Chains A and B, each alone.
Chain A
Amino acid sequence: MKEMIRRFTEAYGPSGNELVRDIITEEIKDYADEIRVDALGNLIAIKRPTGNDSGKTIMVDAHMDEIGLVITHIDEKGFLRFTNVGGISPSVTMGQRVIFANGTIGVIGIEVKDVEGPKDIKLEKMFIDIGASSREEARELVEVGDICTYHRPLEMAKDRLIAKAMDDRIGCVAIAQTLKELKETPHTIAFVFAAQEEVGLRGATTAAYQINPDFAIAVDITVTSDTPKGHTMEIDLGKGTAIKIKDRSMITQPKVKDMLIKTAKENNIPYQLEVLEFGGTDAGAINLSRGGVPAGVLSIPCRYAHTPNEMVDLRDVQATIDLLKIVLSQPFEL
């Protein structure tokens, strides 16, 4: 699984240009009964019931897009002006190395004369230097509208993994691995690797409409409370999968929450309860699709979200897969 995490997190795929789709497709194509890509770029893999049962139609979602920077202007000296795609912190972005779809590398610089203190660290004062010395030279490599992402390889820190785009490639790994390991199921399951979550849950909106599921589970990351003066909540790295209670996009219905907790308890799968005061996930969009869809979220605890160094613990990934696999492999009533 570590190799899959490396391939998925190191792949390029900002919102709207999710080229990581090809790498995920390669990983799962032998395990799905049907694979398709829709108008917004969602990758949808269908697994049909293995017996004669006709269980529920279930949507399992993890978003494959990552945050990035989009080029707005190329000046006559070849410097690129940019703005954010999704939630980008200016202070985190300062000094980073970035990569474009075609492999072009750049570094982030800032108008030093105009920066007197931390409050002046703003994206509109920054630029990307790709080594070009004129607009013409720059335009041979990039064009206005091109998107780049932070450029970092996956690293290990003891048993923990550090990478860019853990949000939400680690969720993609979890649902891809679940699909691979799922031997029997009474359900029709649509595994959705969703596009454009970071810019407003857009891919999940249209995917849910297509699939019209009876039930949905999204797998995404959540922030943690276990770092010095961390977030106010009770989520620690390594203490299990996090069953979401609420965030800004959804309140998990009690019957869904209870079913997930009961299944985790019965199978001795470590879990935590996530009450997130900000942010949202694809489940929020799926929940409101058509006439309403009961939805739950399994979150993988992740430190330093939306930085080039997002950290997760493999035990939490494993717990998420274990719980998901059991939920999907047996009949249940809500």
Chain B
Amino acid sequence: MLIQRLSEAFGVSGNEEEVRNLILEEAKPYINHYWIDALGNLIVYKGPKEGKEANLPKIMLAAHMDEIGFMISHIENNGLLRFEKVGGIDDRILPSKEVIVGKEKIPGVIGLKAIHLQKPHERQQVMSSDQLLIDIGARSKEQAEKLVKIGDYATFTPRFSDFGKDLLKGKAFDDRVGCAVLLELLKEDLPVHLYAAFTVQEEIGLRGAGVAAYRINPDYAFTVEGTTCADIPVSEEHNKVTRLGRGPAISFMDRTSIADRDLVRTMIQQAEEHNIPYQWRETTFGGNDAGRIHTTREGIKTASIAVPARYIHSPQSVINVNDFNNTVKLLSYTLTRIGKGGIVK
């Protein structure tokens, strides 16, 4: 399954090579050409069928390849590894998690003193990431240095599976699920000049998307995300943001952009015309690549659509397969409409 392979690939911000290679292999049979730019963004182009090129709009779809993770910053004399977080990670989720370290994917575990040995006040405290260490089984600095170097990346050990009804769990659905949506759309024949941008370094400040948009210089852009979902009992109804199984989540605004109203209108009109469920992303928290894309050059009309994912930025996030399929469907109809009849004003 493609989503499984994408989820399990190792691609922390700045080190997206494995994900990029996987995506390129998958895309190659369907595309006209591609390029990889200086920051590492992979941009693949698929044109409309021959004879129909004239005047069709240039569309950029963006999904980021990178995931949150860690970078090794210091090796202790006893062989344990200090690390820095890469991207937004809650310190409370770190203890006792399995990780893989470096190109060789050395297995490791983020250790924590057993409960028997903790004093009562320690049991009440959250260990901050700079107090935690990764144990790769080495017994000395020399032993550890044979396996790992300063600057190596680490990520959560992948544990992908399906469960429940129509649900998938795994790491890095933010935003490998977006990458999977783009790959599905590349298989279709759409009446647009389609530039699928698989971007780098979104999690550490939307760094890849701006330069990708500058070079593509599209008429319209959409970012495709795996977005936060809090449809769990502890959340009040108005704080759930999105709900699994209710279709793709459309953004109206976040910290980095206000969605273009015409593009949003076009998506909603297509959802209603083709009976595709959709929901609002009911928050303005967070940001995504749209923030950089829409202010590129002379300004680019940009909107964001996302597959809801519970527990993102953790070792296990959860998506609903139907939301994924409906996101592909809604974007397919939307791009067809824009190619044939323009945006809905």
Which of A's residues lie within 8 Å of B, judged by CB? Answer: 15-17, 38-40, 42, 70, 72-73, 75, 81, 83-85, 144-145, 196, 199-200, 202-203, 205-207, 209-210
CA distance A70 to B253 in the complex (A): 9
Number of interface residues of B (CB under 8 A): 23
Q: How far is the CB of B22 from chain A (nearest CB, A)?
A: 34
Q: Which of chain A's residues have a CB closer than 8 A to the CB of B252?
A: 70, 144-145
Residue of B nearest to A81 (CB): B238
Shortest CB-to-CB span from B39 to chain A, Å, is 20
Beta-carbon contact of B282 and A39 below 8 Å: no
A70 touches B298 (CB 8 A): no
16 contacts between A and B (CB under 8 A): A16-B253, A39-B260, A39-B298, A40-B294, A42-B299, A70-B284, A72-B280, A81-B282, A85-B253, A144-B252, A145-B259, A200-B256, A206-B298, A209-B297, A209-B298, A210-B299
Known: A38-B299, A70-B284, A206-B295. 4 other contacts (CB 8 A): A72-B282, A84-B284, A145-B252, A196-B258
B139: Cβ under 8 A from any A Cβ:
no
Specify the chain A residue showing the minimal Cβ separation from B261.
A17
Chain A residues closer than 8 Å to B237, beta-carbon distance: 73, 75
Question: Which of chain A's residues have a CB closer than 8 A to the CB of B280?
Answer: 72, 144-145
CA distance A207 to B284 in the complex (A): 25
B299 and A40 contact, CB distance less than 8 A:
yes
Instruction: Give the Cβ gap from B243 to chain A, nearest Cβ, in Å.
Output: 12
B301 within 8 A of A: yes
A72 to chain B: which residues have CB within 8 Å?
238, 280, 282-284
Which residues of B (283-310) have their CB < 8 Å from a CB of A? Answer: 283-284, 294-301
Which residues from B are CB-within-8-Å of A199?
258
Q: Whole-angstrom distance between the alpha carbons of A200 and B291 in the complex?
A: 10
- Which chain A residue has the least Cβ–Cβ distance from B268? A143
CB distance from A83 to the nearest CB of B (A): 5
In the bound complex, CA of A15 to CA of B283 (Å): 16
What residues of B have a CB within 8 angstroms of the CB of A210 in the complex?
A: 298-299
**B294 contacts A202, C-beta separation under 8 Å:** yes
**Which residues of the partner chain B approach A144 to less than 8 Å between Cβ atoms?**
252, 280, 282
- Contact of A145 (CB < 8 Å), options: B257, B264, B295: B264
Nearest Cβ on chain B to A59's Cβ, whole angstroms? 14
- Given the complex of chains A and B, what is the CA–CA distance between A202 and B280 in angstroms? 24
Taking a contact as CB atoms under 8 Å apart, the answer to whether B238 and A75 are in contact is: yes
CA distance A140 to B257 in the complex (A): 27
Cα distance A203–B238 when bound, in Å? 31
A319 to B283: give the CA distance in the assembly, Å.
Answer: 43
Compute how far the CA of A72 lies from the CA of B256 in the bound complex, rounded to whole angstroms. 16
Q: Chain B's nearest CB lies how many Å from the CB of A86?
A: 11
Distance between Cα atoms of A83 and B260 in the complex (Å)? 19
Query: Among the interface residues A38, A73, A75, which one has the most CB atoms of the partner chain B within 10 A?
Result: A73
Q: Tell me the interface secondary structure of chain B in the complex.
A: loop
Q: What B residues does A38 contact at CB under 8 A?
A: 298-299
B332 CB → nearest A CB, Å: 23
User: Across the interface, which residues of A come within 8 angstroms of B300, CB to CB?
Assistant: 39
Shortest beta-carbon distance from A47 to chain B in Å: 20
Q: How far is the CA of A207 from the CA of B295 in the complex (A)?
A: 9
Closest 7 CB pairs between A and B? A145-B252, A206-B299, A16-B258, A39-B299, A73-B238, A40-B299, A144-B280
- Report A-chain residues with C-beta under 8 Å of the C-beta of B259: 16, 145
With A and B bound together, what is the CA distance between A18 and B295 in angstroms?
A: 17
Taken together as a complex, chains A and B put the C-alpha atoms of A202 and B299 apart, in Å, by: 9
Residues of A within 8 A of B258 (CB): 15-16, 85, 196, 199
Complex Cα–Cα for A175 and B259 (A)? 28
* Also in contact, A73 and B299, with CB within 8 A (given A81-B238, A85-B253): no
Which B residues lie within 8 Å of A70 (CB)?
252-253, 284
CA–CA, A205 to B292, complex, Å? 11
| B253 close to A145 (CB less than 8 A) | yes
Closest chain A residue, CB of each to CB of B260: A39
Looking at B252, B256, B258, B298, which has the most chain A CB atoms within 10 Å of its CB?
A: B258
- Alpha-carbon gap, A145 to B263, bound state (A): 13
A16 in contact with B282 (CB, 8 Å) = no
Nearest A residue (CB) for B280: A144
Beta-carbon nearest neighbor of A199 in chain B: B258
B282 lies within 8 A of A73 (CB): yes
Which residues from chain B contact A209 at a C-beta distance below 8 Å? 297-299
Distance in angstroms between the alpha carbons of A203 and B257 in the assembled complex = 11
**Minimum Cβ distance to chain A for residue B217 (Å):** 12
- The smallest C-beta distance from A293 to any residue of chain B, in angstroms, reads 15
Q: When chains A and B are docked, how far (Å) is the Cα of A16 from the Cα of B282?
A: 17
B240 CB, min distance to chain A CBs, angstroms: 8
> Complex Cα distance A75/B239, Å?
11
Interface string of B259-286 (1 = CB under 8 A from A): 1110010000000000000001011100
Q: Which residues of B contact A202 (CB under 8 A)?
A: 257, 294-295
Q: CA A210 – CA B261 in complex, angstroms?
A: 22
A84: chain B residues at CB < 8 Å are 284
Give the shortest distance, in Å, between A291 (CB) and chain B (any CB): 14
CA distance in complex: A98, B51 (Å): 53
Q: Measured between alpha carbons, how far is A81 from B301 in the docked complex, in Å?
A: 27
Residue of A nearest to B284 (CB): A83
Chain A residues whose CB sits within 8 angstroms of the CB of B257 once the complex forms: 202
Out of A15, A85, A203, A206, name the residue touching B297 (CB < 8 Å): A206
Is B295's CB under 8 angstroms from A83's CB? no
Residues in A with CB closer than 8 Å to B298 are 38-39, 206, 209-210
* Chain A proximity of B62: nearest CB distance (Å): 16
> In whole angstroms, what is the CA distance A249 to B259 when docked?
24
- Complex interface: chain A residues within 8 A of B299 (CB): 38-40, 42, 203, 206-207, 209-210
Q: Which A residues lie within 8 Å of B294 (CB)?
A: 39-40, 202
- Find the A residue at minimum CB distance from B237: A75
Closest CB of chain B to A280's CB: distance in Å? 15
Q: Quote the shortest CB–CB distance from A289 to chain B (angstroms).
A: 11
Task: Report B58 CB to chain A, min CB distance, Å.
Answer: 13
**Least Cβ distance of B308 to chain A in Å?**
15
